Structure 1
Amino acid sequence: MSLIRHAETSAPNIFHGAESDVGLSEWGHKQAGLLADHLASRGAEAVYCSALRRAVASATPIAHALGQSPVVIPELHERKIGPLSGRTRDEGWGVYEESKRRWIAGEVEFSHPGGESFADIDRRVRPILDDLSKRHKGGRFLVVVHGIVIRVALTSLLADRTPADFDAIAIDFASINDLVHDGSRWRAEALNLVVAPSPARPVA
């Protein structure tokens, strides 16, 4: 299983939760194409994504490079963040930091009013990933989703990670996180593999 964060959004300095259906920046579209080129030779049985535009726009070129169409799973949406959505990083960082601090301390049910907690996200996403893993047992599949969703998944699924590691794992735009199931547990083969970094780099 590869968990892939969507490419750069058209407003990367704004908090975008499930409530914000923002698209990709010009670089984000190029980034998604470069990611597709990289993944084309690796193969995959299927490409899944959330229904948000930034995820679909990132997953579509990847799926097409593999001769497929992306399969949309709406429940894989980004964290619901309520009134934090649409606020600038400067305006909302303190609210987000408080959630992270409490999660790292083990208070996984905590969230600001209107926002999903770590535990809420885990309860929503983990059954989907478990189902996809059973469906593709022994095969490789790609899941194009959102930064916080990936962090929650990694710190919940990996045997050597806990919510205390939430802030220790970088999840850049268009990054790839490869996980392998050994029959009893998940282990990481690669985390935050970045093919086309942000901010924009010249593209030949």
Structure 2
Amino acid sequence: MIKILKEVFQLYIDRSDFFLEILLQHMAICGIAIVIASIIGILLGIIISEFKKTTSPVLSLVNFIYTIPSIALLGFFIPISGIGDKTAIIALAIYALLPMVRSTYTGIETIDPAVIESAKGMGSTDYQILYKIKLPLATTVILSGLRNMVVMTIALGGIASFIGAGGLGVAIYRGITTNNAALTVAGSLLIAVLALVVDLIIGTIEKFIKRKWKLN
């Protein structure tokens, strides 16, 4: 194990340009997928919390998608969008919807009804209640869902190379196909570090918001 780790760090030094390139590719692919999933997921979460008849079908659909193996979902879109980054982004964004939809819906639904009734009694419109009360109060729950979704997406991005996309999965794929354990570990380790760093950043933001709410 120590020998492999030495080889891994030597690879980072000898092939720093290669690893920097695929790291940036990984961040770009996952970043775009995360932004798309966040926007669509939050919007869907708001819709199903405001229009109760849509709750069951929407949650059932995103739950069903989540049960599909990630590699199968990537393969499903190849005939539609071809191989490469585009297909990886689409599949990762769709796969990431469930945590965002569920956390947004849960965050809004767990707000004390008395708070909503008080706002209505003061003459607030539905839009004002949503924008100024529901979403701010649901922020920490939404961020918790975002945190889980981001880590999951960064990890799943590692298999995107199997459909011709870039990213850190390229190192893993090449390592597997050439029986190069050091290269496989090098790619996997960078994915883990990237996920941990992003998780730490979002966690810090989440704690800051919670602290701010307590002070207020």
TM-score of the two chains, using structure 2 as the length reference? 0.26
Larger Rg: 2
Structure with greater strand share of residues? 1
Q: Which has the higher helix share?
A: 2
